[in-house]
């Protein structure tokens, strides 16, 4: 049931479903107000409305909690160690295969370490002034094992 609700919430059908439930609530309230302009709720209807509101809040909380759990899982998958040396960002995590690799300190893209670390994005264009690949290898060798 939870998976069904998650898929329903992620589908484009959520907009018409929310709109229909809002319109239905408006129609019911309008009917209850009646000609007199005063809201006349019997204890049974008031209890039903409170229970429906509680169920709605509970389901919204459930959806929010499922997003929170997904976010925590994604954080663990993308968790990285970060060190900054000589103006270069070095990262180590799952996407680097557990190896320290240089990253562009400006746009955070993986730097091209083949000759010297420079940003592969021509729009960014970051490159260190005097750094050569051997110096980068020495820095990586001094990073935590
Ligand atoms: Zn860059």
126, 105 in Cβ contact below 8 A? Answer: yes
> Separation of 8 CA from ligand 1 center, angstroms?
39
Can you give the pLDDT at residue 130?
63
Q: Judge if 34 and 84 occupy the same domain.
A: no
> Separation of 117 CA from ligand 1 center, angstroms?
10
Q: Counting beta carbons within 10 angstroms of the beta carbon of residue 119, is it exposed (0 to 12), middle (13 to 18) or buried (19 or more)?
A: buried
> Separation of 142 CA from ligand 1 center, angstroms?
24
Q: Judge if 9 and 73 occupy the same domain.
A: yes
Q: What is the DSSP letter of 116?
A: S
Model pTM score? 0.53
Please give the chain's pLDDT, 145 residues, in tens.
Answer: 677 777 777 877 788 888 888 888 888 877 777 777 777 778 888 888 899 999 999 999 999 999 999 999 988 888 999 999 888 899 999 889 999 999 999 999 998 777 677 888 989 988 877 677 788 888 889 998 8
> Separation of 141 CA from ligand 1 center, angstroms?
23
- Kind and range of the H or E run holding 123: none
> Separation of 18 CA from ligand 1 center, angstroms?
42
Can you give the pLDDT at residue 20?
86
> Separation of 128 CA from ligand 1 center, angstroms?
11
Per the structure, how many domains does the chain have?
A: 2
Q: Judge if 69 and 90 occupy the same domain.
A: no
Can you give the pLDDT at residue 61?
92
Domain boundary among 77, 103, 119: 77
Range of the domain at 27: 2-77
Can you give the pLDDT at residue 71?
93
Can you give the pLDDT at residue 100?
93
> Separation of 109 CA from ligand 1 center, angstroms?
6
- Residue 88: CB atoms within 10 A of its CB come to 21
Q: Judge if 10 and 58 occupy the same domain.
A: yes
């Amino acid at each position: 049931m939870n998976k069904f609700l998650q898929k329903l919430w992620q589908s484009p059908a959520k907009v018409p479903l929310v709109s229909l439930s809002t319109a239905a609530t408006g129609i019911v309230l309008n009917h209850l107000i009646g000609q007199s302009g005063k809201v006349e709720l019997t204890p049974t209807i008031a209890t039903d409305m409170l229970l429906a509101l509680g169920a709605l809040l509970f389901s919204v909380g459930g959806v929010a909690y499922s997003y929170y759990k997904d976010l925590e899982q994604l954080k663990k998958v993308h968790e990285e160690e970060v060190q900054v040396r000589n103006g270069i960002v070095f990262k180590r995590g799952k996407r680097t295969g557990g190896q320290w690799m240089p990253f562009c300190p400006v746009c955070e893209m993986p730097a091209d370490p083949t000759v010297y670390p420079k940003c592969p994005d021509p729009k960014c264009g970051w490159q260190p002034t005097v750094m050569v690949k051997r110096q980068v290898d020495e820095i990586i060798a001094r990073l935590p094992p």
